[in-house]
């Protein structure tokens, strides 16, 4: 799978490149709208991630030109926090979906999956993850423990997904913040700890182990 990231902010571009590469994508980055448009036209991609505030050519203009030429590839737009009205315009202009900055990688991946109906690479992007008594249906965002369905919020679901994608691996609070809450989150926040407690309450205290010295990991369920 190939992804084109059109984003001038190096920190966000590398955050996306890192995450998408880990998910099995081949990633190309354009740091301005003109290069992004040229690349999008000349290569075959499975998805395009498009920032709006870009030098040389704005994201809106890139989108209009691509759609004007019948560009068939899903485009997910990255938009600033307060640009609520712009979002409607973006969808009208041909964006398939949008994410408001700051966003987490888990959120982006969920949007990409929804757009691509990914299922080809079962090892990393399969639509169902099972781990011991737990089962996650990713496209439908549903969770079962011992075949009993458990209702989770989107954030709880994203956190559980991260644990089950890294079975047995120790994940520190800063890592969880990056993966679930996104690069813009306060690194001192204890929100990951709070959400681990939510997951334990809903799914059973044994699903996530606290590791001495800091961090958590999914239980082994032997």
**Closest-CA residue to 161 (of 126, 193, 186, 187):** 126
Name the one range near Ca ion by CB under 5 A: 7-15, 119-127, 130-138, 199-207.
7-15
Strand segments (E) across the chain: 2-6, 26-30, 47-51, 75-79, 97-100, 128-131, 134-137, 142-145, 148-150, 208-210, 216-218
CB of 115 to Ca ion, least distance (A): 21
Could you say whether residue 8 binds Ca ion (CB under 5 A)?
Answer: yes
Contact 180, 106 (CB under 8 A): yes
Q: Which is nearer to Ca ion, 9 or 209 (CB)?
A: 9
Q: Which is nearer to Ca ion, 53 or 191 (CB)?
A: 53
Which class for 159: exposed (0-12), middle (13-18), buried (19 or more C-beta within 10 A)? buried
CB of 169 to Ca ion, least distance (A): 33
Task: Tell me the two tokens of residue 135.
Answer: 């089962």
CB of 104 to Ca ion, least distance (A): 18
CB of 81 to Ca ion, least distance (A): 13
Helix (DSSP H) and strand (DSSP E) numbers for the chain:
9, 11
Instruction: Name which of residues 52 to 71 contact Ca ion (CB under 5 A).
Output: 53
Q: Which is nearer to Ca ion, 79 or 173 (CB)?
A: 79
Could you say whether residue 51 binds Ca ion (CB under 5 A)?
Answer: yes
Could you say whether residue 83 binds Ca ion (CB under 5 A)?
Answer: no
Beta-strand relationship, 2-6 and 47-51:
parallel
Q: Count of residues binding Ca ion (CB under 5 A)? A: 3
Q: Which residues bind Ca ion (CB under 5 A)?
A: 8, 51, 53
């Amino acid at each position: 799978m190939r992804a084109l990231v059109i984003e001038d902010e190096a920190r966000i571009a590398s955050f996306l490149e890192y995450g998408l590469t880990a998910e099995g994508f081949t990633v190309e980055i354009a740091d301005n709208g003109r290069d992004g448009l040229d690349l999008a036209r000349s290569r075959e991609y499975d998805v395009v991630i498009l920032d709006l505030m870009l030098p040389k050519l704005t994201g809106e203009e890139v989108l209009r030109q691509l759609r004007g030429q019948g560009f068939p590839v899903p485009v997910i737009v990255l938009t600033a926090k307060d640009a609520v009205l712009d979002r409607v315009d973006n969808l009208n202009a041909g964006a398939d979906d949008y994410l408001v900055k700051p966003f987490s990688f888990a959120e982006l991946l969920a949007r990409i999956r929804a757009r691509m109906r990914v299922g080809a690479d079962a090892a990393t992007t399969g639509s169902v993850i099972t781990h011991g008594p737990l089962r996650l249906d990713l496209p439908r965002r549903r969770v079962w423990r011992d075949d009993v369905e458990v209702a989770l919020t989107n954030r709880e679901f994203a956190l559980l997904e991260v644990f089950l994608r890294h079975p047995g691996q120790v994940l520190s609070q800063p890592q969880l913040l990056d993966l679930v809450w996104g690069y813009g989150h306060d690194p001192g926040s204890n929100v990951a700890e709070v959400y681990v407690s939510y997951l334990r309450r809903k799914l059973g205290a044994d699903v996530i182990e606290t590791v001495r010295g800091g961090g958590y990991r999914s239980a082994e369920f032997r």
